[in-house]
Amino acid sequence: MIKSRDDKKNSPFEERRKFCPFSQPNSPKIDYKNSKLLNRYISEKGKITPSRITNVSSKKQKELTKAIKRARFLSLMSYTNKIYK
C-alpha cells in the first residue's frame, strides 16, 4: 500500500531532518588538538566513522579526517584500539 504524504506526517515514525553537527551556528570548531571532540567520530576499533552515519557534511568530513590523522600522528589518539584479553 502506498502512503500519501499526509499520512507520513502524522505517523510516530516520522523522519526527523538530520543536520551536520559542524555546520550550525555556534557549532564546535574542528581542531586536531581537541581529541575529546574527535573521539566521538571514531569507531570502537579506532576507525573513522563514515559521514553517512554521523551526518557530517562532505566539506566538514574532509576537515575532520585531516584533524584525526594529525592527532594520531601526535599520539593524542591511537591508530587502533586493540582489546587485550
Partner 1 sequence: MQKFEAVLLYSPDLSSSNLKEQEDFFEGQIKDHKGTIKAQENWGLRDLSYNINKNKKAFYQFYQLEIEGDKIQDIKKILTQKEQIIRHLFIKVSEHDELPTYLGKN
CB of 30 to partner 1, least distance (A): 12
Q: How far is the CB of 24 from partner 1 (least distance, A)?
A: 20
Choosing from 6, 15, 75, 83, the residue that interacts with partner 1 (CB under 8 A) is 75
Q: Residue 63's closest CA among 85, 34, 83, 26?
A: 34
Instruction: Name which position in 19, 23, 33, 45 contacts partner 1 (CB under 8 A).
Output: 33
List of residues contacting partner 1 (CB under 8 A):
31-36, 70, 72-79
